[in-house]
Amino acid sequence: MIRFFLAAILLLSLQSLSAQDIYFTRTGQIDFHAGTSVEDVDAVNNEVTSMVNIKTGDVVFNVLIKSFHFKRALMEEHFNENYLESSKIPKSTFNGKITNLSAINFSKEGNYTATVEGDFTLHGVARKITLPATVTISKEGIRGVSHYSIKPQDYDIAIPSLVADKIAKEISITIDCRYEPRK
């Protein structure tokens, strides 16, 4: 009976250790700029779900397309109905890894440069991408920030010729997530 009790305590302590390896957010932010000198086309999504495992380097994002908000309602409607077709393809995902995990000391406050590689799926099209990121370790938790760009045609997003001069050929994207230990 004592062995069973000790085994149960050991199992519970191992589970709590592994939970401390996982950091999570439901309030990450992704914003993008797709405008030109003709028109501002900017959107923000503050409901990004993401997880980072600091032992394995696994990084996962789940983004609801309808959670992107624009300054003008008509832009948001066109974005959801015509370009990203969010009723048919409601989310975007990223599944990847920090490839230089050993360069980040998660137990020491500071800024670290990370490289994240993985599969980014947008508009139903999956592509392997490599992202630069800055990882900040502080007593508040972990913050990850990345800036990169994509081309709409790489994800089968058709831009009608009528508005082609209003939408950038490359979309600038910024990710900013503040992670806390999963409880």
pLDDT band at 105 (very low <50, low <70, confident <90, very high): very high
**16 vs 139, which has greater pLDDT?**
139
Residue 183 has pLDDT above 90, yes or no: no
DSSP assignment of 82-122 equals: IIS-TTTS-EEEEEEEETTGGG--TTS-EEEEEEEEEEEEE
Q: Determine the CATH number of domain 23-181.
A: 2.40.128.110
Cα dihedral: 8, 12, 18, 21 (round 10):
-160
How confident is the model at residue 37, as a pLDDT? 83
**DSSP 8-state secondary structure symbol assigned to residue 79:** I
Domain parsing of the chain, residue ranges:
23-181
pLDDT band at 116 (very low <50, low <70, confident <90, very high): very high
Residue 122 has pLDDT above 90, yes or no: yes
How confident is the model at residue 15, as a pLDDT? 43
| pLDDT tens digits, 53-104 | 999 999 999 999 999 999 999 999 999 999 999 999 999 999 999 999 999 9
**35 vs 64, which has greater pLDDT?**
64
